[in-house]
Amino acid sequence: MTDYFCMDKAALMREQQALLAEYGRYKAMGLRLDMSRGKPCPQQLDLSMEMLRMEDYIGENGVDARNYGLLEGMPEARRFFAELFGLDAKEVIVCGNSSLSMMYYLIDLGWRAGWADSVRPWRFCNNIKFLCPVPGYDRHFRVTEYFGFQMLSVPMDENGPDMDLVEELAREDETIKGIWCVPVYSNPDGVVYSTETVQRLARMQTAAPDFKIMWDDAYCVHHLTDEILETANILEECKQAGCPDRPVMFCSTSKITYPGAGVAAVGASEHNVRYITKNMTPMLISYDKMNQLRHVQFLKDKAGVLAHMKKHRAILEPKFRLIKDTFAAGFAGCGPIARWTDPKGGYFISLYLQDGCAKRTVQLCKECGVVLTGAGAAYPYGLDPQDRHLRIAPTYPSLEELGTAAKLLCVCARLATVELLLQKAA
Amino acid sequence: MTDYFCMDKAALMREQQALLAEYGRYKAMGLRLDMSRGKPCPQQLDLSMEMLRMEDYIGENGVDARNYGLLEGMPEARRFFAELFGLDAKEVIVCGNSSLSMMYYLIDLGWRAGWADSVRPWRFCNNIKFLCPVPGYDRHFRVTEYFGFQMLSVPMDENGPDMDLVEELAREDETIKGIWCVPVYSNPDGVVYSTETVQRLARMQTAAPDFKIMWDDAYCVHHLTDEILETANILEECKQAGCPDRPVMFCSTSKITYPGAGVAAVGASEHNVRYITKNMTPMLISYDKMNQLRHVQFLKDKAGVLAHMKKHRAILEPKFRLIKDTFAAGFAGCGPIARWTDPKGGYFISLYLQDGCAKRTVQLCKECGVVLTGAGAAYPYGLDPQDRHLRIAPTYPSLEELGTAAKLLCVCARLATVELLLQKAA
């Protein structure tokens, strides 16, 4: 095969014909695959079924988890998540099945009532803004957009967000109230924030006294290699920098046990924990403490979680490898028309195509019955300014489905690229 | 014994001395009892342990309840709650473990974004008001107060809230945005709303186009006698009256299975359900659907729930009887210094003392180690204007503890009454 960029128009048209023929064969297969979300597969869910056999729901403090009470969570569950966060149990609130709903609640709290360190609630500020490292997590952006905040994109590099830009923006504009971060195996690029990035986030000057780092540690134990990659502790760094109330940390067992019925937790300064639980008191008597106890009994501690995550890795690593191998073969010899990430953990692979090719590729796949995450989903307002990024979610489909989908994706991406080059040549 | 109201000062002082001696004996017992909340007792919680043995979490539609998805709940769970509500499954959202958090969310929604039938969000209205039938549920009042709404008390009678007053207020004041209702075995008086009350609530003119009936059907199956008392269907009545978006219904299994780990549900017009779930989408991917399936498999349907509730009744009915018998004996011969309710279901008995005696009685009990619900808790802002109402929660303590506490309560209430009469005599 020849590098697409070296092909003349006639060669491109021949390549297009060949690709269309191949595409037609996929179309005839009547595929029906959804690769749009980072969902665990059934075998992953089966790993935790033993957890459900628990029969004793009295906590270590004698509290009956079945009854009302303990808004901040069972003490053993607070200690469990404290170890995952690297915090003290007093700095943890253990919640229900959704960390997203806690992020939403805390954005709502800042907007409606303000934080303990707010001069006034965010809603009294015209034109609130939030920093959104891109590519990033679409559900973060959606919450921000729902509350009417303006989203400012900040590019990511291999160390995390562009900190020169973050520092400059946060220092100069007091309407910038926070930043979304997925510090470990970031969604979707798989970046692990460097220690320097974490320290600069903690130490930077912010014009807003109530600037919040929304630290979504969704993939903190979701390793795909033997390397255990972790970041510096954002709360510890913020304490040292004199702004302990700046970060709010989130994690959950959604991708450890069950996406639908896991346990989420919030980590923050004791001052923030008191402020948050005080505000939550009118809303809720307690979260599902039975599920909290179930999780702690089953996973035990961080070592137990890491051992459990190795079983997930055994299922997931071949899927990630298959995607990368298929991309390597499927784009071989076409020239530099695509590059993709090689994450050491997390749930996604990013595929970067030529500018202007992402949407068309998604459309071509869809017409063959394979649903990818919408092009642009990893950017605020769903707008990838270069229309080049695709988020690949390899976890849910079977290896066989995944192989077919990845091969089809290569054909579609090449077809989109050839179309683009033909347009340019016209 | 003589009627307190017929005693002269010397007789009252003798009675006070006798009561103080009796009080001293209770004090010496070193009691430590918490009767402040309507919590099920451990034996009630044991009734549902079989539910936890479930192993199959694939729903009737093939959906894996363990994974993400289905914000509106599993279809079998929607059907289950639809039967309890008397609605269609499409009119139901099945949620997490807390109906309170759904009430909070919907008050927040109305305030922040408005309802589908709002001209503008409630927050743009200065001085929002809510009608609060009294005595009522303190947590309803707390949510209302947290959002800064003014609470207008409406007296309850044996048919529900005073509808003449409700109609007058709702018709004349467009800043009145809703009313809290516990229509069956109301908290705390045990009143079941009459059909006329339900119809008048549905048919009344409201100055606010987005007036909401917050219909907390917390005790809809919590019968304590052979009578199955139910109300007319508020949504059906509102549909007939041409205002289907007026009511929002709530119920939960908190006092059917587990207070900490039950399943809550919201019932409303399809239009409202669509509006609510659309707004919830940025907040949450799905509630705990495993727990939803567990509940449906265990309780099956309304007949299954009613059969299960008979087991609760067998535990609770003797506790309610003991309270009533102890009050009858403890206040015998004192004259009309106290009256109490005889509820046919629910979780509470109301005890009405002489004006000005409730707080003092609670204080006297507390000094003996028995914590009652705070006097005034059943009134907005915690202020019982007559300081006469006590909410008795007989469910949690054992029969033995309950007997002791009820006897002590009689002594304390009599002492408070004698003190009051002595003050008047002075």
Question: Measured between CB atoms, which of B67, B98, B101 is closest to A259?
Answer: B67
Summarised one tens digit per residue, pLDDT across range B383-420 is 999 999 999 999 999 999 999 999 999 999 999 999 99
Mean pLDDT to the nearest integer, A216-224: 98
CB atoms within 10 A of CB A213: 24
* Interchain CB distance below 8 Å, A55 and B49: yes
Neighbours of A293 (CB within 10 A): 25
Element (H, E) at B389: strand B389-392
What's the pLDDT at B35? 87
Mean predicted confidence (pLDDT) in A388-394? 97
* Dihedral angle computed from the Cα positions of residues B15, B19, B21 and B25, in that order, rounded to the nearest 10 degrees: 160
> Pick from A49, A55, A284: which is nearest to B98 by CB?
A284
Place A338 in a pLDDT band, splitting at 50, 70 and 90.
very high
Section A281-294 average pLDDT: 98
Tell me the nearest-neighbour CA distance from A377 into chain B, angstroms: 14
At what angle are helices A399-425 and A9-28 packed, to 10 degrees?
A: 150
- pLDDT the model gives residue A392: 96
Question: Tokens in use for B266?
Answer: 């919201």
Residue of A67, A72, A100, A297 to mutate for B, most B C-beta atoms under 10 A:
A67
pLDDT score of B355 more than 80: yes
Nearest to A178 by CA among A210, A156, A153: A210
**What does the pLDDT look like over B14-54, one tens digit per residue?**
999 999 999 999 999 999 988 888 899 999 999 999 999 98
Half-sphere exposure of B113 (CA within 13 A, CB side): 15
pLDDT of residue A274: 98
Among the partner residues B142, B260, B287, nearest to A289 by beta-carbon distance: B260
Please say if the pLDDT value at position B1 is more than 70.
no
- Flag whether pLDDT at A1 surpasses 80: no
> Which chain A positions have a beta carbon within 8 Å of B395's beta carbon?
none
Q: What is the mean pLDDT of residues A53-57?
A: 91
Residue B194 has pLDDT above 80, yes or no: yes
Query: Tell me, what's the pLDDT at A426?
Result: 80
Give the residue numbers in A contacting B (CB under 8 Å), as ranges. 37, 39-40, 42, 45, 49, 52, 54-55, 64-69, 96-98, 100-101, 104-105, 108, 112, 139, 142-143, 145-146, 254, 258-261, 281-291
d(CA B238, CA B233): 9
CB pairs under 8 A between A and B: 127
Residues A153-181 have a mean pLDDT of 98
**pLDDT tens readout for residues A161-171:** 999 999 999 99
Q: Which residues of B touch A98 (CB under 8 A)?
A: 284-286
Question: Which residues of chain A make contact with B112, given a CB cutoff of 8 A?
Answer: 108, 112
Contacts of A283 in chain B (CB under 8 A): 100-101, 104-105, 143
Q: Residue A97: list chain B partners with CB under 8 A.
A: 96, 287-288
Mean pLDDT of B262-285: 98
Chain centroid to Cα A345, Å, comes to 11
Q: Are strands A370-372 and A92-94 parallel, antiparallel or unpaired?
A: unpaired
A12: pLDDT confidence band, cut at 50, 70 and 90? Answer: very high
Evaluate if residue B340 carries a pLDDT over 90: yes
What pTM was computed for the model? 0.97
Complex prediction ipTM: 0.97
CB contact under 8 A, B290 and A261: yes
